[in-house]
């Protein structure tokens, strides 16, 4: 006779049982997705009510230091030639701004390593200017959490953005938003980070999926935890080995596809933005739209002036990257520059007819009265050819 228990154990699992086990394994991912969607739906409405937004218009911000002007892209403030700081401020702010310590500044610095700071004043200490450093990269800024900053308290009477840099440095300000602190606000900030679309920066899907590189919690970790919980729940259903293997593989595939789709959406966004910026126009217009477009314009002015009889070009600048880009754009001229240390040549090495690209630098000074470039071991008479955002092209004269 055949033991009924043995016969039952050898019977393959039904589709209903396998489907039920698969649903249980995917349940953590499903519940997380539903909770995330609900949070985004309801939190956005609440966030809009609790957020203070300081925009850009004819009244504010204003340039308390430097030169400012309102443009279609935002408020632009430039470091003046007689100072190393540019400041854009909102002199009038809502009274309850101090109750919202999560601050995001929508601003873009022309120079990638510019020193950006959020500045503010309080009514109880009106003569003191408080500040906090704004981390930024690739034309994006990271939000500031001032909930633990002892100086962000009381009534805030004014707020702004300051940039320390070279003469001609440009800062574009689009606004400031302030959010309340708390668990919901931190979760919203984390979710916003997961949704953020970054420009091209060489990041790899093998190292980082989306968002900022120093996020508090990676979506990969979250998906991995949810998949592990799903496998734990699957083990409680006691499926057959064959069914459990198939369901585990299916769970891993769903988790991988979810992350990969988010990565693909990020790539689509990057391609779309690139096509918008560089997909039309002449090659000249595309070069001008590039991040080093200002350097390209100066190099073009030099090459148009060059007669092709072997003139030399010298690059003066404090930043290795800008020196290298200038040297590239100056080709096929004979270019001389220190790629590593930025050491300047002896003034005797320059002769009439040579060109000098003076980028952002504190080692060289242009004496407008005498029309001379002056540095520690050099002093030459020059004629300006072109200038943009504090960078100037010169030609050496007798």
- Give pLDDT tens digits for 315-342: 998 888 889 999 999 988 999 998 888 8
Which of residues 249, 275, 301 is at a domain's end?
275
**What is the percent of the chain where pLDDT is above 90?**
16
Domain shared by 152 and 242, yes or no: no
Domain shared by 308 and 323, yes or no: yes
pLDDT tens-digit readout, 190-217? 666 666 666 666 555 554 544 454 455 6
Domain shared by 84 and 34, yes or no: no
Domain shared by 78 and 166, yes or no: yes
Spatial CA neighbour of 86 closest among 175, 170, 1, 211: 170
Q: Which long-range contacts (CB under 8 A, 24 or more apart) does 72-77 make?
A: 73/172, 73/174, 74/106, 74/107, 74/172, 74/173, 74/174, 74/175, 75/172, 75/173, 75/174, 76/170, 76/171, 76/172, 76/173, 77/163, 77/170, 77/171, 77/173
The answer to whether position 205 is within a domain reads no
Ranges of residues in the chain with a pLDDT under 70 are 1-14, 40-49, 82-83, 138, 182-217, 309
Domain shared by 160 and 218, yes or no: no
Integer CA distances (angstroms), 220 to 174, 209, 215, 248, 370, in order: 32, 7, 12, 17, 61
Which element (helix H / strand E) includes 245? helix 241-278
Q: What DSSP letter does each residue of 356-373 carry, written as one string?
A: EEE-S-SS-EEETTTTEE
The answer to whether position 203 is within a domain reads no
Predicted local distance difference test score (pLDDT) of residue 356: 92
Phi-psi region of 308 (alpha: psi -120 to 50; beta: other; left: phi over 0): left
- Residue 234: which domain range? 13-49+214-275
Predicted local distance difference test score (pLDDT) of residue 2: 45
Domain shared by 116 and 133, yes or no: yes
Structure tokens belonging to residue 12: 């393959």
Domain shared by 296 and 335, yes or no: yes
Predicted local distance difference test score (pLDDT) of residue 8: 45
Predicted local distance difference test score (pLDDT) of residue 5: 47
Domain shared by 177 and 74, yes or no: yes
**Contact in structure between 389 and 349 (CB atoms under 8 Å):** no
The answer to whether position 188 is within a domain reads no
Which of residues 182, 197, 228 is at a domain's end?
182
Structural domain count of the chain: 3
Domain shared by 171 and 244, yes or no: no
The answer to whether position 84 is within a domain reads yes
pTM of the model as a whole: 0.65
Domain shared by 163 and 109, yes or no: yes
Domain shared by 24 and 109, yes or no: no
pLDDT tens-digit readout, 249-275? 888 888 888 878 877 887 888 888 888
């Amino acid at each position: 006779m055949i033991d009924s228990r043995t016969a039952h154990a050898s019977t393959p699992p039904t589709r209903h049982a396998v489907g039920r086990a698969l649903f249980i394994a995917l349940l953590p991912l499903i519940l997380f997705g539903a909770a995330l969607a609900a949070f985004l739906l309801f939190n956005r409405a609440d966030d809009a009510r609790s957020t203070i937004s300081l925009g850009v218009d004819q009244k504010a911000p204003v340039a308390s230091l430097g030169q400012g002007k309102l443009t279609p892209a935002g408020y632009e403030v430039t470091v003046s030639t007689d100072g190393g700081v540019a400041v854009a401020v909102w002199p009038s702010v809502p009274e309850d701004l101090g109750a919202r310590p999560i601050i995001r500044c929508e601003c873009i610095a022309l120079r990638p390593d510019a020193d950006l700071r959020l500045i503010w004043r309080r009514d109880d200490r009106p003569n003191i200017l408080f500040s906090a450093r704004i981390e930024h990269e690739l034309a994006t800024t990271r939000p500031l959490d001032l909930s633990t900053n002892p100086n962000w308290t009381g009534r805030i009477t004014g707020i702004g953005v300051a940039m320390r840099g070279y003469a001609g440095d440009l800062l574009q300000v689009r606004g400031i938003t302030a959010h309340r602190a708390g668990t919901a606000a931190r979760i919203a900030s984390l979710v916003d980070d997961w949704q953020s679309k970054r420009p091209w920066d060489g990041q790899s899907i093998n190292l980082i999926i989306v968002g900022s590189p120093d996020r508090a919690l990676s979506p990969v970790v979250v998906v991995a935890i949810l998949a592990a919980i799903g496998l734990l729940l699957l083990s409680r259903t006691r499926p057959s080995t064959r069914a459990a293997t198939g369901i585990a593989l299916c769970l891993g595939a769903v988790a991988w596809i979810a992350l990969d789709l988010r990565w693909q959406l990020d790539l689509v966004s990057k391609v779309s933005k690139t096509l918008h910026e560089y997909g039309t126009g002449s090659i000249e217009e595309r070069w001008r739209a590039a991040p080093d477009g200002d350097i390209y314009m100066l190099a073009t002015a030099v090459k148009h002036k060059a007669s092709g009889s072997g003139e030399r070009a010298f690059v003066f600048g404090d930043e290795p990257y800008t020196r290298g880009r200038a040297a590239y754009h100056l080709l096929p001229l004979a270019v001389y520059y220190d790629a590593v240390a930025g050491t300047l040549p002896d003034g005797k090495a320059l002769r009439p007819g040579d060109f000098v690209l003076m980028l952002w630098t504190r080692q060289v000074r242009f004496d407008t009265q005498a029309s001379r470039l002056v540095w520690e071991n050099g002093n030459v008479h020059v004629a300006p050819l072109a200038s943009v955002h504090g960078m100037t092209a010169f030609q050496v004269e007798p």
